[in-house]
Amino acid sequence: MIQDIFKTPLYYTDLKLDNKAMANYCLSLSKKHKGRTVSNVGGWQSDNLQGEHPVLNDLFLSIEEHCTSYIKELDIKCLNKIDNIWININGYKDTNQLHCHPKCLISGVYYVQTPKDCGNITFRHPSFDKFQYDWTTEKVNNYNTYNSAEWIMPSKMSQLYLFPSWLFHKVLPNLNKKEKRISISFNIL
C-alpha cells in the first residue's frame, strides 16, 4: 500500500473571460509605464497594480472565487485577499527565471494570451537537489508525480493556476517570434 505524504497541491481551471480586452489593456499599460525587473529576463513586468482596473474586475472576482475552493480543500487559514497582482508580457526568447513568492500563502497566474510555442510553466519539486543525485534518468523508467524533479504544465489561454507560494517555478522562453505571451500573476494572503 502506498500512502501519499507531503503532497503539493496545484489547482487549475479554465475561466471564461474576455481575454482580448484584457490583452489590449495589458499592452496599453506596457506602453505607458516602464515596468520592473523581478523574475523576468527580458519582457515587461508591471509594477503591482493599484487603483481601479475595470477590464480586470471579472478576473479579480474569479481569482477570489477559485481561491476560496482551493484553501477550503487545503484546510488552511487564509484571508483570501489579493495582496499584490501584476502583468507579465514576454516576447521572443523572454522568460521568467526560477523563483518563489515568500511572505504570502497562495500564488497564482492567469494566462491571457498564449501563442504557439510561447513557453510553459515549470514547477520544481521541493527536494530538487536530492533528485539530482539519486533519482536520475538511469534509475527512472517513466516519469510521474512521484519521481519527477520538475513538472511542466501548459501555458494555455484562459488557464488559472493556484499553488503554494513556497513552490519554486519558472516559465520557459517564448519561442514565438511574432506574438507575445501575456499573463497576470498574483499573491494571496
Is 94 domain-assigned?
Answer: yes
Is 93 domain-assigned?
Answer: yes
Q: Are 63 and 110 in contact (CB under 8 A)?
A: yes
Is 5 domain-assigned?
Answer: no
Strand 11-14 to strand 159-164: parallel, antiparallel, or no bridges (unpaired)? antiparallel
pLDDT at 132: 74
- Domain coverage including residue 19: 11-136+146-188
Q: Are 46 and 36 in contact (CB under 8 A)?
A: yes
DSSP letters of 127-174?
THHHHHHHS-TTT-SS--TTT-SEEEE---TTEEEEEETTS-EEE---
Q: Which pLDDT tens digit goes with each residue over 166-179? A: 999 999 999 999 99
Question: Which pTM does this prediction carry?
Answer: 0.95
pLDDT at 133: 78
> Over the chain (189 residues), what is each successive 10-residue block's mean pLDDT?
93 98 98 94 96 96 96 92 96 97 96 98 92 80 89 98 98 98 97
Is 86 domain-assigned?
Answer: yes
pLDDT at 134: 80
- Which domain CATH number covers 113? 2.60.120.620
Q: Are 132 and 104 in contact (CB under 8 A)?
A: no
Is 73 domain-assigned?
Answer: yes
Is 6 domain-assigned?
Answer: no
Of 121, 97, 94, nearest to 177 (Cα)? 94
Is 66 domain-assigned?
Answer: yes
Is 126 domain-assigned?
Answer: yes
Q: For residue 30, what are the CA distances in angstroms to 47, 70, 90, 173?
A: 10, 31, 11, 19
The total domain count for the chain is 1
